[in-house]
Every structure is written in C-alpha cells, then in structure tokens.
Amino acid sequence: MPIDFWAGWVAVLTIVSLIGFAWVIYGAYFGGKSVEGDEESPTVWDENLREGAHPPPMWWFWAMLASLVFTLIYLILYPGLGSFSGAFKWSQGGELEERLVEHASTFGSRRDEIARMTIASIRQDELLMRAAQRVYDRQCAACHGLDAQGQADMFPNLRDDAWQWGSSPEAIETSIRSGRHGIMVGWRSSLNRAEASQLAQYTLALAKSKPSVHPGKAKFEELCAACHTTAGTGSTALGAPDLTNGVYTYGGGVLEIKETILYGREGIMPAFGDVLDDMQIRLLVAWLTRDV
C-alpha cells in the first residue's frame, strides 16, 4: 500500500472532520430555530440551557471556536495533515539532532579537554573524581560491585593489584573500550580425580610456599604452564591470571579451584566503546587506578 494513500487518507479525514465540526457549531448557534421542550415551567442550567433543542451557552461557542482556531494554526505550523510537514518543518528527529548539537557545543570542548588530561591530573581533581565515580556507579557497579571489590565469585575485584589483562592505564582503557573475553578450558578429559585434587593443591601452594617438590607439579607444567607460566605468574597478554598473588576471581577454596581446573571458566567483560565517550573512559581509568 503506497504511503501517499494513507497520507491523503489522514489529511482528508482531518479536514472533513474539521469542516463537520465547524458546520455543527455554526448550525447550532446560527442555523435554525430552537425546538421547545414539553415542560411547562422549564428549568434553566448554566445561563440558558433549557429543555428542548436550543443553542448551548455562548461561552461554549467561544471555547469551541478557540479550539478550532488552535487546531488550524497547529496544523499549519506542525506536522499533522498527512505528509505535510508544517511551516516550522519540526520533527522529533530534528529536535533531537538540535539538542545533540547544542549539547556538543555546550559541553564538547570541556569533555574533549578532560579526555586529553593526564591520569595524574584527573586524580588530583576532586570534582572530576566524583564525576568518575558516578560513571562507575552507573556503568560498572552492577557487575563489579558498588565498592569495586568484585562480587558473585565471578566479577573481578578492581581495587586490588591483580589485573588479569594488565594494570597499566592503557590496558585498562582497552579492557573498557573493547571488552575482554577470558576462556580457560576444562581439563576433565586429561585428569583423574586424584590428579585434579593434586593440581588444585599445587595451584594454591604457588601463592604461598612455591614448593619445588609437589605431586601436582608435573601436571601443572604439562597442562597449565603454557598460559600461566611455569612459575604460575600468568600472562596479561593472554588474560591468564597470576596464580601466585592469592587472588582468585572464582573463589579460592580447593573445591572451587578444582572445579575451575576440571570444567574451565569463561569470563566476559562487555565492550563499552559505544556506550561511553572518551571523557567517560578517561575518567574511569583515572578512578580505577587511584590510590586508596
């Protein structure tokens, strides 16, 4: 069905309705004789409203005339009559475009300025840090927690020194902008229960005594060292966590670690490059790397 048909449909129906409306008003007040009611002593409401068919009170006339005039002016100025876009050429999209331009011209230069500030100077600016916290609260807290200390044995703590993908401002910015996808494969086809327990014990031991002799050591070097390194210090390039710092995103008990080893883990940090602008990302990086 061509869109023009419906535009015409809307326009014609609107105009015909308005003409009908005007005809009823005109006819009721000036077009004919009143029809008297049957009552002998008629009751009168609202100045001159009586039994029978009479013109309604005059203030109704003025109210309806005013609404008719308003409608006509509105339909001339704004879109309403089918595809006629109105004298003002107003549209929702155009209005939004204008607001966006206004927003950019009001705040754009200041936001660009902040986006180019050094991390150190942002950290010294209390107002900016407060703004950064608001960005964090809105965009990050749902997963990483209101205090940024991680939660649900799944979302990493952002207040400690352990950064799976690197702790430099650049690495953190990349994590925010492009997201991260961490995958640890499960090893249940390569391990029996006893070996998995030994491996879990050894993994935990890496953070404490770093034993040179351990029943889980051989399996660790065979299966885990490729990503986590022989010393267990991990690789920020691969997103393989450091196992010597005692930080365990998915829980640090033997059972949890055994589960990780057997079934693997998958962690997704969504990309915020489209959601946040450069300034907001800069503020977040400064806030996340601040000294507490």
Partner 1 sequence: MNVLGLHKKLEENSGLLIFGILFVSSIGGLVQVLPSIFEDELITPTAETRPYGALELIGRDIYIREGCSTCHSQQVRPLLAEVKRYGPFSSAGESAYDRPFLWGSKRTGPDLHRIGAKFSDAWQRVHLIDPRSVVPNSIMPAYPWLAANAADPRNNIQTRLRRLRLLGHPYSDDAISNAPDLVANKTELDAIVAYLAVLGEAAGSGEEMAH
Contacting residues toward partner 1, per CB under 8 A:
1, 3, 6, 9-10, 13-14, 17, 23-24, 26-28, 31-35, 52-55, 92-93, 95-96, 99-100, 103, 141-143, 145-146, 151-152, 154-155, 266-271, 274-277
Minimum distance from CB of 141 to partner 1 (Å)?
A: 8
Task: Specify the residue, 14 or 167, whose C-beta has the smaller distance to partner 1.
Answer: 14
Q: Please tell me what DSSP assigns to residue 52.
A: E
Q: What residues does 235 pair with on adjacent strands?
A: 240
Distance, CA of 81 to CA of 74 (rounded, Å): 10
For the chain, the distance separating the N- and C-terminal CA atoms, rounded to the nearest angstrom, is 65
Minimum distance from CB of 16 to partner 1 (Å)?
A: 9
Minimum distance from CB of 36 to partner 1 (Å)?
A: 10
Task: Specify the residue, 12 or 231, whose C-beta has the smaller distance to partner 1.
Answer: 12
Task: Specify the residue, 161 or 274, whose C-beta has the smaller distance to partner 1.
Answer: 274
Task: Specify the residue, 151 or 233, whose C-beta has the smaller distance to partner 1.
Answer: 151
Are the C-beta atoms of residues 24 and 55 closer than 8 Å to each other? no
Distance, CA of 6 to CA of 54 (rounded, Å): 39
Minimum distance from CB of 69 to partner 1 (Å)?
A: 20
Minimum distance from CB of 41 to partner 1 (Å)?
A: 21
Task: Specify the residue, 115 or 171, whose C-beta has the smaller distance to partner 1.
Answer: 115
Q: Please tell me what DSSP assigns to residue 220.
A: I
User: Beta strands 52-53 and 180-184: pairing type?
Assistant: unpaired
| Cα separation values, 134 from 91, 157, 177, Å | 33, 18, 18
Task: Specify the residue, 37 or 253, whose C-beta has the smaller distance to partner 1.
Answer: 37
Minimum distance from CB of 44 to partner 1 (Å)?
A: 17
Distance, CA of 78 to CA of 85 (rounded, Å): 6
Task: Specify the residue, 53 or 120, whose C-beta has the smaller distance to partner 1.
Answer: 53
DSSP letters along 170-214, please? HHHHHHHHH-EEEEE---TTT--HHHHHHHHHHHHHHTTT--SS-
| Cα separation values, 79 from 7, 64, 245, 246, Å | 11, 22, 65, 65
Rg for the chain, CA atoms, rounded: 36
Minimum distance from CB of 148 to partner 1 (Å)?
A: 13
